[in-house]
Each structure stands twice: as structure tokens, then as C-alpha cells.
Structure 1
């Protein structure tokens, strides 16, 4: 059994780790390791993060042509109405998200928000949401990690878009297993009834266009479940703003 002193030391170390991740500027590029005064060097940004590609307007999966929707969204529309992503979740740029999420390198969050903002500005006929909502973590996962990576991206993104942020709009009312550890055929059931809208914020959603912010979108079940909760509470449109999209296999 851990002692009270042990728990205090763990808390102190967690606080120090988060402070370092949030305040210490990197002396080298987060991808190639080359010395540079910014989080990402210009050559890596140009090589890995400036190549646009056609995507489904609803789920942001890559398309081979200029079609507006992929076959999956045509057959079965998800609860959300549009998705914008900055890049595919693939090597080497996936390291930016892994360093943020599992390395507590919070200084990467503004960079990721900026990349997402650039992708949003490139959308034709872009409809700005009226408020932003980060995908919430459950209490146990939040206590373990010490921060919500979706919220860390949503804060600077809200400033760039000049859209109000409501970090406590949605609640994760049921602890779920990480989707990455769940079989594909079980992922939708894993998130059933996982989200609810905070009662004190329910009035904000009446007739509202909500932007849901997350770090990575894979199967889409997480944002689908949260979008469905928003629409059940009165939202009329939900846009997904996600840093990276896992390409279909």
C-alpha cells in the first residue's frame, strides 16, 4: 500500500512534469531533432505538413477524387455534419501527438492548434461554430494523465478562431476503455451512453452549431457519440475539428 508521502511525491512530480511541458521551449525540432528556436523546423513543416489531399467533407477520410462524401458516409451518415483535420495520423508527424499525449509536452498544443486552424481556413464555404467543446476525459483517465490533450489544443484554437470555448459543456459519464485497445467491431458499444451534456450548459445548445475538438480521430465512434449527445440536447449542427485523422486500412 502506498503511503501518503508517496502519493504527495507522485503529485509533486506530476505537477513538475506538466510545468516543464507547458513552459520550457524546445531547443530542437520535435520531428527531426535539428536545433531550431521553434517547436517545428521549417524543412519538416514544408515536407510533412503542407500537402493537402481530397477528403470526405463529413468524416475527413481521404478520397481518390473530388467527391464530396465517401461511400461510408453516403451509406450511413454519422451524427456530425462535417470534419476538418490538419494531417493524417501517420509517421513521422504522429510523433507530435504522441509527445503531447504521452510525453506531456504541452508546448506542442499551440502548434497543433495552428496547423488545424490553417486547415480550417482552407475549407471552402466554412461555417464557423458558435462554440467549441473538447472531447472530455473520464475522471480516472484525467487523474492518471494530469491533463486533457483535447482541451490543450482547444484553448489556442478557440483564440485563433475567435470562438467561445466551453470546456465543461460535455461530461464523460461512463469510464470507457481506450479505443485503441478495443476491437474495431466493439468500439461503438464501448462508447454507448458515455457522454452527457452538463445540465447547467444545456441551454447553450439550443439551435447551436458546435465544434467538437479532439487530437486524433480513428473509427469516428468517439466524436459520433459526443455529436449525438449534443444533437439530443438541441444542437442543430456539429463540426469535428481534429488534429489528425487515421487513414482507413
Structure 2
């Protein structure tokens, strides 16, 4: 019965192809091959620490040299710019969860084509506050982290960190107030503290803009004894 059901789903999938989330053309996945090549498979030089674009041969940008963040490295799949931003908005606010495995796949491709990749020993999604989780019904960072963990063969601990106080959405906070908005917002759950001590932990999130969210979570992981923290983010907002 299960085999027949799977067969029927395959047949229906071939008869009723999905629409590309970018161009609305027919395709078997969430994004068609032409859109993927045009918008999602670009490579560029980036700062090893924060993943901002670099114009020269330096490995770390001047901003990270002047004020090093709590995280040690960042990897991203794309710039948070049109039309990629629309895909992430569909995932984050439109519950189009089929986009999460796509971004996981793109992240895997990004890290595997770079010789500087140092795989974390454990993955931790950026947690949502309880109120926002109830409102949205899912955590988009966790939805990306699940397929990412499987593809990279890295253990995932979904409840490794908690958000100990509700914070305003960073998009609604003035740039100068964003770091303070997230100060002491995260902590490592006591029952998982031993998994963090002296280990390399990877933070997974959907979008990295100012970097204050992942900085605050990385600081909490470092306070719990993490020896290194790497950020894995679907898209990085270019500096203005």
C-alpha cells in the first residue's frame, strides 16, 4: 500500500509540476534550473569572519579587524538581495517550508567548494522567543538546520540554546540600538552545557544583516565554553 501511494505521488508530481518560486514557470522543484543558475549559484570573495563581500585579497574585512565579533567564521549561500530576499520572505513569513532544503543544499555547495571549510561538531539553530514561535508556528532557522545537518553529517541539537527574553524584531530596531536589543538574550540550556564545552559549534540562521543576533548567540556559546563558533546563514545582507 505504501509503495502504491508513493508511486501515485510520483505520477501526480509529473502530471502537476510545481511552479518556480521566482519566475512561476513549471518545474519539478521549488526553483527552476535557469533561475537557480542565474540567481543562486554565484560565487564571490567574502570575509572569512563575517561573510561580507571583499574587494581585495584580504581574508578578513577591516570591520572585523577593528571590532572582532564573538563568532569566528561565517559561511553563506547568497546575498540577501532581490530576488533571493523574496524566497527567504516566503520561507519566513509565508510558511513555504519547501524552500528550507533548497537553502540547505546551497549552503552545502558553498562550504564544499571552499578549501577553508572547517566543519563544526554540532549545529545549533538560532532560537525564536516563545511568543514569536507560537505566532509563526515554526522556526525557519531550524527548518534550514534539519536538512543541513543531514547533508553535512553533523549532529543537530535543536534546543541547545534558548532565548531567555523576548526581543523586538531586529528589522524594527534602529541600527544603533540593535546590539543592545539582543544583549544577554540567549543562553545555553543547562542540560546541554557539556555538549558545548571545548567544542566547535555551528549556528544556523536564515538571514544575517547587522550580525548582532549571531554575535549575541555566539557570545553565549563562548561563555558556555565553546572553543569556536561558525555561522551558517542562508543569505547575507551586503553592507550599504
* TM-score class normalised by the smaller sequence: over 0.9
Which position in structure 1 is the counterpart of 2:73?
82
2:140 to 149, 165, 171: 149
The answer for unaligned runs of 5 or more in structure 2 is 1-12
1:237 to 207, 228, 231: 228
Q: Secondary structure at the match of 1:85?
A: strand
Go from structure 1 to structure 2 and tell me whether the alpha carbon gap of 1:93 and 1:145 turns closer, same or farther (over 3 Å shift): same
Paired with 1:85 and 1:213, the residues of 2 have a C-alpha distance of 10
Q: Aligned residues, how many? A: 226
Q: Normalized against structure 1, the TM-score is what?
A: 0.89
Is this contact kept in 2: 1:26–1:39, CA < 8 A?
A: no
Q: Aligned to 1:139, which of 118, 126, 130?
A: 130
Work out the CA distance in 2 between the residues paired with 1:93 and 1:203.
37
CA offsets per residue over residues 126-164 of structure 1, 9 Å max, x none?
A: 111000000000000000000000000000000000000
Does 2:33 match 1:35? no
Pair 1:52-2:47 in alignment? no
Q: RMSD value over aligned CA atoms?
A: 1.2
Give the drift of 1:120: 1.1
- CA shift for structure 1 position 26: 6.8
- Check the 8 A contact 1:58/1:83 in 2, yes or no: yes
Q: Do structure 1's residue 212 and structure 2's residue 203 form an aligned pair?
A: yes
Structure 1 residue aligned with 2:155, among 144, 149, 164?
A: 164
Structure 1 unmatched runs, 5+: 1-23
Shift >3 Å, 4+ stretches:
none
Q: TM-score, normalising length from structure 2?
A: 0.92
